Amino acid sequence: MTEVKREVFGQMPRAEGGGVVEKFVLKSDSVKVEILSLGCIIAALETKGRDGEFSDVVLGFDTLEGYMREHPYFGATVGRVANRIAKGRFTVDGKEYQLFLNNGPNSLHGGARGFDKVLWSPQVLPNGVCFFRLSPDGEEGYPGDLKVWVTYTLSGGELAINYRAQTSKTTPINLTNHAYFNLAGQGSQDIYNHEISIEADSYLPVDETKIPTGEVAAVQGTSFDLRQPVELGKHLQKFHLDGFDHNFCLQQAQARRLVARARHPPSGRAMEVHTTQPGIQFYTGNNLDGSLRGKGAVAYPKHSAFCLETQNWPDAVNKPHFPSALLRPGEEYNHTTWLVFNAA
């Protein structure tokens, strides 16, 4: 049985349109997750270690004020297009669109005010919560009225996140959740003792602005071969890596499949990622620098968390040989990601 509770988390500033931000607490016998109506943010996720003790394994803030300040998308649903679009430009049906540039020369995670910074309308379900919003035609430069539903459901140790969308005009879309995980517990100094594996035979090399070059490169014989678990700290050292911020190319299938696994041997906590998406961005918190203080006023230094963002390939709207990122009127965008937590 999953217990669902709702409570007030805070009040949006008038400058941001006002409105009450609610928090939804989903609780099973092994996982407790807190989700905000602001940006569908996963604000806390507690899971058991092998000792049976619960620990919060996602980075974030204790109060709404933290989320209202600049932060790197902690726990948020990002869109209309997650990841980067080169030069913030794309052409659909012969018309060129220009987006806001918020990541060097590129547009990142939906632009200046993406899906992470707006209030969603919640509906409580027996085992979760469904959030809805209408992204109006022209919002952040994107075409079409886009109806979006993001549904979180919890069953035992499994948190499912389903994304659905329908549009009035052809538009690029790529939705993901940007939770930052540390299975030792949020506030732990690093993720070096985590074991990571990703079921991908290829990855996307990127240029100096993190835009894919267009090449789909084999992982075999490279630092990107994570098909067998690697201990992260040792792996970064061995290959002299600053960290990962890359898309791994998954088997192209609409069916649910296991795509990644993270394990923290000292606590026994493990997380499996299953998805219907064609890609997963593995990011090791390279841009965290200790300047942000999160829950319990703890500083979040570099490499103190990782993200496994299931999504379409970055800049797919400008790369015809990548999986299509376009949603057309009369079609439905529908993807699910499952996070499965256990302790061994």
Tell me the pLDDT of the chain (344 aa) as tens digits: 999 999 999 999 998 888 999 999 999 999 999 999 999 999 999 999 999 999 999 999 999 999 999 999 999 999 999 999 999 999 999 999 999 999 999 999 999 999 999 999 999 999 999 999 999 999 999 999 999 999 999 999 999 999 999 999 999 999 999 999 999 999 999 999 999 999 999 999 999 999 999 999 999 999 999 999 999 999 999 999 999 999 999 998 889 999 999 999 999 999 999 999 999 999 999 999 999 999 999 999 999 999 999 999 999 999 999 999 999 999 999 999 999 999 98
Number of neighbours of residue 113 by Cβ within 10 angstroms: 13
Q: Name residue 90's beta-bridge partners.
A: 97
Measured CA angle at 274 (ends 25, 29), to 5 deg: 35
Measured between alpha carbons, how far is 263 from 251 in angstroms, rounded to an integer? 22
Q: Would the annotation count 184 as a binding residue?
A: no
Q: Would the annotation count 200 as a binding residue?
A: no
Q: Would the annotation count 83 as a binding residue?
A: yes
Measured between alpha carbons, how far is 50 from 27 in angstroms, rounded to an integer? 19
Catalytic residues: 178, 309
Q: Would the annotation count 178 as a binding residue?
A: yes
Question: What are the C-alpha distances in Å from 106 to residues 74, 102, 239, 337?
Answer: 20, 6, 28, 27
Q: Would the annotation count 321 as a binding residue?
A: no
> What is the predicted pLDDT for the residue at 75?
98
